[in-house]
Structure 1
Amino acid sequence: MNNILHLKGQLAQKSSPSKPGPANLPKDKKVTIEHLASLRNDLIAVKRFWETSPVDINPLVSAYYTDVVAKSNRIKGIFPKGADNKVVGAKFTSGLEKKHIITHCITPHLLSNAIDALEKAIKLAACFGDAVSFCNIKDIHAKKHEELFKDISRSSFTQIVVDAYYLERLFIDNSSPDLANSAIITLYETGVTTEKIMKQLGLDVSRARIIDGTTILLSPEQYSQLKAKAPYLIAMGVSDIAELEKDMLLGNTSHVMKIPSPSSEPTIGVIDTMFDKRVYFSEWVESKNMLDDSIELRPEDYNHGTQVSSIIVDGANINPDLDDGCGRFKVRHFGVATSGRFSSFTVIRLIKEIVEANKDIKVWNLSLGAALEINENFISPEAAILDKLQFENDVIFIVAGTNKGHNPDIRKIGAPADSINSLVVNAVDFQNKPANYSREGLVLSFFNKPDISYYGGDRAKGISVCSPCGQASVMGTSYAAPWIARKMAYLIYIAGLSREVAKALIIDSATSWSKDSFAPYLMGYGVVPIRIENVLQSKNDEIKFIISGTAEKFETYSYNIPVPINKSKHPFVAKATLCYFPSCSRNQGVDYTDTEMDIHFGRLKKNKTSTSIESINQNRQSDEGYFALKEEKARKLFRKWDNIKHIREYLLTEKGNKRQPKTVKENGLWGLSIKTKERLGTTGKTPLNFGLVVTLKEVNGINRIEEFIQQCQLRGWLVNEIDNQTRLDIYNLSEETISFE
């Protein structure tokens, strides 16, 4: 086995060199005057609606697009960018053909101006007949027809026509969910406080029921009143009372276990149901009941939490077949729910309070999950708080992918397994097949959750845990997640890796060199190997290296990666995994992640004026002179806006033949480029850390790692081998208590 290499060197940074050209329609397309008039009439109706609205806020108007649209093709002319125009929500239409619906909050002045601008555009468009075409706009940019532009500028007119091409209609979105219980409701962000809006509607809501400004807890009666009076204010809503998805108990035994006292082992945080202090490993667990003292606890409220913590503390001893080589871990356990129903509102508040009060804990296990399915158009409130905490703090959550339970109609995962920054774990049986209780993604019709899978047991063979009644055999995603929490804690605390690199290593270890035979929406990127050595090492014919850094500008890159050459060829196939923890905006709906990192990795190639990268996945987004893909294709093919990027070549061709070595280009150098884009158009981009894992597999089975190390050192890279035993020895020494006599 080869050790993983950590390459340290200067990653160059540069700003985006490109500036958007003048707006135009796709070639051979046109926009009719009839369609422009229809959009104008839509806005007139919107204006009349808001003139009679019972709430005094800036108008909301939703844009119904013809497709899933890229940021560059969204409204710019009808509602010009600026402080008086803010995107406050985005969702997809239902059905197989997805289309964007994006909601704007604009000022009354901008609304009037938009109607006036459309009037002028319609009048001018009539000079070109019954429609404005690509060629017409091309002529306008060439400064022809200058005599026509008296009441409206060339740029405004062309941008309005282009806006209209991508729009079907403009309207007030009155859709809102039917909820019977207390509800967690998020209002569109209008610049007016939630308290003030509620008072205008005659609803009395205390500050204690407001989260993050626009998200509030309402009683069934209050929600019914809000929905009747102002459904257009509701951006999203979910029931507050969630039923815990059930894990399956296969049997109990009274086998007595023993364990030594804890010493310098790392601590993992567990947020779950209660912990029973009578179990044999209780000395390893610091537990706290976070619920109100008035809530009466029953014996069954201690089962799930105790079982989950038993895997984290002593899982390898209880399950010899799953001995991962990670040792034991201490646990700081917080009870936030009972075994039945729980309040999402309460859990959200408690999770935030717990993480902020325990800054020393980097890895958190959350095996609680809701029985109800996630919504396809917005992230659950529970997942959103996890994503926010992970962006703001150097922590990672390992989240169970939730179980089907006894309801055959439940298929999609439940909250908080829709958390994008978290590492979400589904279960497989011991034949590496999806467990029959596993639920599936996608999240927001796009994000591929779960991320990975691990052993969660089945009826043929369960997972051994310690319960308050003794040793038990169980199955469920709740018992797959703690195994990954152990591995993540080992990589961060003992191996000393960043959470970005650790997450990338875990995901990369689950991938293979052949085309997947499983459904990614059930198993993620694959099954993580049992032994930690198989995460921290590679096979003898593989070179695995990590690069970590911070994206501060548009492009972070290196054109200086020397891949070994044999007989004037590169005898390798490659794969790469990139992970980062972006800021997320729940109020943006389906456009949830604020930052995109687009990865290019492969051989260098010379263009006429510059050097570029021939990426191993044929990614040409952002390449000079390359027409961008449609947004939906870019998301599907290159995971645009996803915070996990995994690109790879397969060892075998479509015909089953082994891949041939690659032609050498540009002195045998390969390059890495990470291009960073902000969705919300913020000017001062916050630097964002990333972790990248690259694996090169020698197609002839030859070990070329020493040659690679030598060439990297000659090129100025500092190469550190990640030796598992050495890292473990260093950790143990650093945690020793020294007594001074």
Structure 2
Amino acid sequence: MEKRLPIKFFEKRIRDEQRTEGGGSQREDSWILHGDALTHRSQQLVSNMSQVAATFATRKQEKRKLPMVVATTIVEDAIAKSHRGQVVDLLDSDRKSNVIGIASAVQLDEPSNVSNPAKGDKGPPKSKETRRLLSVVTTDELILRIKHALQDTQNFAKLISAIAEIEPFEAQRVDYNPDNRLYRIRLIDYRDPHTNTLAQNLFKAKCHAHGIKIERETRYTRDMNLYRVSLDSMTNLEIMLGFEGIFSIEEAIPIRMDMDSLDDTLVPTAKQPVEGETYPVVGVLDSGIEKNKYLSPWIFRAGEEYYEGQYQDRGHGTMVASVLEYSDELNGTDDTAATGVMMMDAVIVPDLRKETVYPEDIIDNVRDAIERHRDIKIWTMSVGTIEECAKNSFSQYGIALDNIADENNVLIIKSAGNSNAFLYGDEHERITKMADSVRALVVGSIAGEKGQYDIAEIDTPSPFTRCGPGPAYVIKPDLVAYGGNTGRRPDGTTTMTGVRVLDRAGMVARAPGTSFSTPWIARIAAELNHLLAEDFDPLLIKALMVHNAGYPAGQRMNMEDKVKFMGFGMPPGIRDILYNSEHEITLILRDSLPKSQFINILEFPFPKSLVRDDGFYRGQITLTVVSAPILRASEGAEYCQSDISVRFGTMTGIKRRDTSKPMILNPYGSENGANLLREDYYSKIILGVTEEKAFAKERTLLRYGKKFHPIKKYAIDLDEMTAGNRKKLLGKDRKWYMRIEMLCREAIEREFRETGEKLEQEFCVLLTIRDPEGKAPVYNEVTQQLQDRGFVYSDVKLKNEIREYVRIEKDSNTD
């Protein structure tokens, strides 16, 4: 679903003025057909739909398990998004989001006579690429609705003119090469986690049934699964082509390998900063960055070296920097917004084969580097100890990193650490000391590929990644990204399928570890900091990333294990963080709260369009709270001395309160309020699902919103509420409220009483309200309610020079 609407900041209730927007107009395009040409096109498309209907009927009779996919070819002049709108509306005319993507096909034109018109000679046929909208068809009613519209030449001339052909989708055929048995297969992305998982399982089952070996399974991007399979005959190729979930199949051409490096032809093009353009900035706390042609242009100032050259080994730091700079180009992702990132190199660790170093030496180096470069706000750190963190006390090293972050107002992105315990069948080791930092974003690793002997399935925790929780059951790691896979061969040797990196010589190599998932997260944080037209705000950046993070689809892990190994999940790219679709809205409240007060927002905006026909509210709600707790190292497991708690729910109304009575200070309050973030309001069966429902992959269960956790996240689906609670708490006449309170431990209250200082807590709350059915105008309705109810609100502000870049639609190449 397209996201073009900016997320919004709002403030506590203040009556103030608001802004409005305008509109535009359009005229008929020259390519729209009329008369006989329009009639002929209409008849052709109706005939197409008759064939679609016949194929759909056959599939139903055969009881196919995957949805039927239809390819709608758009005429060249109508490829632009502004012209495709009616076509998409047609394909979605059952009020479902049926369009799942765009496919290209190469077709041969009729031979032209341009070579010698006088002689009537015709030139050779030319190939051209056509764009096809792919959509799913699940009902006969939708087919009839489409067919009816295509017959209506009076009202739908533009729609009919925009479509060249409609046909059941089939992967383009490929010739079988008996000299190369390896073929690369990509499955259809149905834009639905459950259906995608089903397609993968059916594909694997078909391969197994026919003795077709899957050599490697690889996730290149979020919506692209590739399988390299061994096909021994043309018959096997036909079997694969007959699988309904195939998007494409092609011959897999091997590349020339030299040890663990790839051929120079696979090295990405060296990027150069554009003069006058600004870029995100990241400080790299590591072993040093080799100044080769790929990375040297992006090192923007003299760095810090805490060891002489003969005691350095810049290999690790170079690989970390290459992920920071070239991750998309190397690993096939598409998550960055800026074309590059500037780096400051801090050599904080030596070649450990030549020099002994202790954790405190690292801390000193980190502190010195950051203090010397206070203007750099995002730092990536993929080095640290190998010691496991304690269960009930925070390490000195983690506390030191917190102190450095607070004193310098920076955000450190820290690796969770690696472990070899999986090699010996031991339990997973917990995160390392230093990674128990409260202020840092700590990053674990998940697998993006799976080799023959690798242990982890794609999108599940890497075997080597360390797990949580941190001390005092604080959720760590906070986030995850792709960091590689490992396993053991039958002979006992270790296999490693690392992420693609650049080594010191600029050659592509493989490297597994949380060291290489960490800079991926640092890049997103740096881009957010660069894009936002706000003063640096680590709470806001952390909140945006955690709030939008989710667990990759297709997993069968219980929620406790997801949180243990993956924290709050994997964040998406910048575009999905900063923008909403029309069926959702994200609101941000960034504030501080003194101990003596609480925020009680009565009549909180909530869309009436989410009331069902039966009179009860529906919808999905995600609420994230990120705070900067007051820290005291002396308090052991109670290191976090303050907390922010949030209640969000419904009430029957606002009641007057008698302030003449003792202990009653507020004249208004909620009547019969119910906090919907309570776990016991929801079905225990639903709360125990893995990925059977799409929302389950994003849900951090309510039980993880514990007191004195610096990050809390709640994700609820009102349809999952028990019937009795739904009847009592979700009626259309109930109002909505949000209450935010500060909690403090006794030690810090006592300390502030003695000093007379003001005890207050900074926080950031993000709330997303979403219609999972993609029907309700949530964004516009909540915005209108913000205005009507006197809130001060504004769109998230981006720097002018990059606003349009971030808002590029993902299919803009069709314009």
The reply to whether residue 714 of structure 1 matches residue 788 of structure 2 is yes
Q: Which one of the candidate residues 753, 756, 765 is aligned to 1:692?
A: 765
The reply to whether residue 503 of structure 1 matches residue 542 of structure 2 is yes
TM superposition shift of 1:586: 2.0
1:685 alignment partner AA: K
TM superposition shift of 1:636: 6.0
Residue 298 of structure 2 corresponds to which residue in structure 1?
Answer: 284
Q: Which one of the candidate residues 519, 522, 525 is aligned to 2:565?
A: 522
TM superposition shift of 1:656: 12
Residue 143 of structure 2 corresponds to which residue in structure 1?
Answer: none
Q: Which one of the candidate residues 605, 610, 633 is aligned to 1:562?
A: 605
Residue 349 of structure 2 corresponds to which residue in structure 1?
Answer: 337
Distance 1:11 1:467, change over 3 A: farther
Distance 1:643 1:519, change over 3 A: same
Residue 541 of structure 1 corresponds to which residue in structure 2?
Answer: 583
TM superposition shift of 1:327: 2.8
SS of residue in 1 equivalent to 2:782: helix
Residue 471 of structure 1 corresponds to which residue in structure 2?
Answer: 508
Aligned mates of 1:548, 1:251 — CA distance in 2 = 48
Structure 2 residues without counterparts, runs of 5 or longer: 15-257, 449-457, 487-495, 658-667, 681-700, 807-815
Q: Which one of the candidate residues 397, 409, 413 is aligned to 2:431?
A: 413
TM superposition shift of 1:252: 2.0
Aligned mates of 1:303, 1:284 — CA distance in 2 = 17
Distance 1:584 1:416, change over 3 A: same
Structure 1 residues without counterparts, runs of 5 or longer: 13-248, 621-633, 733-741
Q: Give matches, 1:82-161, under 5 Å.
A: none
Query: How many residues in Structure 1 have an aligned counterpart in Structure 2?
Result: 479
Q: Which one of the candidate residues 386, 390, 397 is aligned to 1:382?
A: 397
TM superposition shift of 1:308: 0.9
Bigger drift between 346-355 and 511-520 goes to: 511-520
The reply to whether residue 354 of structure 1 matches residue 356 of structure 2 is no
Residue 7 of structure 1 corresponds to which residue in structure 2?
Answer: 9
Aligned mates of 1:505, 1:727 — CA distance in 2 = 21
2:739 alignment partner AA: L
Residue 194 of structure 2 corresponds to which residue in structure 1?
Answer: none
TM superposition shift of 1:474: 1.3
Residue 378 of structure 2 corresponds to which residue in structure 1?
Answer: 363
Q: Which one of the candidate residues 649, 664, 667 is aligned to 2:716?
A: 649
Residue 802 of structure 2 corresponds to which residue in structure 1?
Answer: 728
Do the aligned partners of 1:602 and 1:672 also contact (CA within 8 Å) in 2?
Answer: no
Aligned mates of 2:584, 2:704 — CA distance in 1 = 26
TM-score, with structure 2 as normaliser: 0.54
Q: Give matches, 1:418-497, under 5 Å.
A: 418-430=436-448, 431-459=458-486, 462-469=498-505, 470-496=507-533
TM superposition shift of 1:599: 1.5
Aligned mates of 1:292, 1:260 — CA distance in 2 = 29
The reply to whether residue 592 of structure 1 matches residue 635 of structure 2 is no
CA deviation profile, 1:165-215 (whole Å, cap 9, x unmatched) = xxxxxxxxxxxxxxxxxxxxxxxxxxxxxxxxxxxxxxxxxxxxxxxxxxx
Residue 261 of structure 2 corresponds to which residue in structure 1?
Answer: 252
Residue 574 of structure 2 corresponds to which residue in structure 1?
Answer: 532
TM superposition shift of 1:5: 2.6
Distance 1:385 1:665, change over 3 A: farther
Do the aligned partners of 1:397 and 1:423 also contact (CA within 8 Å) in 2?
Answer: yes
Do the aligned partners of 1:495 and 1:728 also contact (CA within 8 Å) in 2?
Answer: no
Distance 1:374 1:669, change over 3 A: closer
Distance 1:665 1:516, change over 3 A: same
TM superposition shift of 1:253: 3.0
SS of residue in 1 equivalent to 2:390: coil
Do the aligned partners of 2:280 and 2:338 also contact (CA within 8 Å) in 1?
Answer: no
Aligned mates of 1:661, 1:534 — CA distance in 2 = 35
TM superposition shift of 1:657: 14
Residue 269 of structure 1 corresponds to which residue in structure 2?
Answer: 283
SS of residue in 2 equivalent to 1:433: coil
CA deviation profile, 1:635-685 (whole Å, cap 9, x unmatched) = 966411111111221365389999899635777342232334255222323
Residue 104 of structure 1 corresponds to which residue in structure 2?
Answer: none
Distance 1:656 1:559, change over 3 A: closer
CA RMSD of aligned residues (A): 3.5
Distance 1:726 1:420, change over 3 A: same
Distance 1:260 1:646, change over 3 A: same
Do the aligned partners of 2:280 and 2:342 also contact (CA within 8 Å) in 1?
Answer: yes
2:502 alignment partner AA: C
Aligned mates of 1:646, 1:513 — CA distance in 2 = 17
SS of residue in 1 equivalent to 2:473: coil
SS of residue in 2 equivalent to 1:391: helix
Do the aligned partners of 1:250 and 1:472 also contact (CA within 8 Å) in 2?
Answer: no
SS of residue in 2 equivalent to 1:570: coil
SS of residue in 2 equivalent to 1:589: helix
Q: Which one of the candidate residues 607, 628, 639 is aligned to 2:706?
A: 639
Aligned mates of 1:425, 1:513 — CA distance in 2 = 15
Residue 550 of structure 1 corresponds to which residue in structure 2?
Answer: 592
CA deviation profile, 1:456-507 (whole Å, cap 9, x unmatched) = 1225853221111322121111111111111111112212353212211111
Q: Give matches, 1:186-205, under 5 Å.
A: none
SS of residue in 2 equivalent to 1:649: strand
TM superposition shift of 1:724: 6.8
Aligned mates of 2:723, 2:736 — CA distance in 1 = 28
Do the aligned partners of 2:13 and 2:792 also contact (CA within 8 Å) in 1?
Answer: no
Distance 1:283 1:677, change over 3 A: same
TM superposition shift of 1:304: 0.9
Do the aligned partners of 2:270 and 2:293 also contact (CA within 8 Å) in 1?
Answer: no
1:347 alignment partner AA: I
2:669 alignment partner AA: T
Aligned mates of 1:552, 1:654 — CA distance in 2 = 34
SS of residue in 1 equivalent to 2:502: strand
TM superposition shift of 1:342: 2.4
TM superposition shift of 1:695: 1.0
Distance 1:660 1:363, change over 3 A: farther
TM superposition shift of 1:367: 0.9
Do the aligned partners of 2:323 and 2:501 also contact (CA within 8 Å) in 1?
Answer: yes
SS of residue in 1 equivalent to 2:770: strand
Do the aligned partners of 2:642 and 2:761 also contact (CA within 8 Å) in 1?
Answer: no
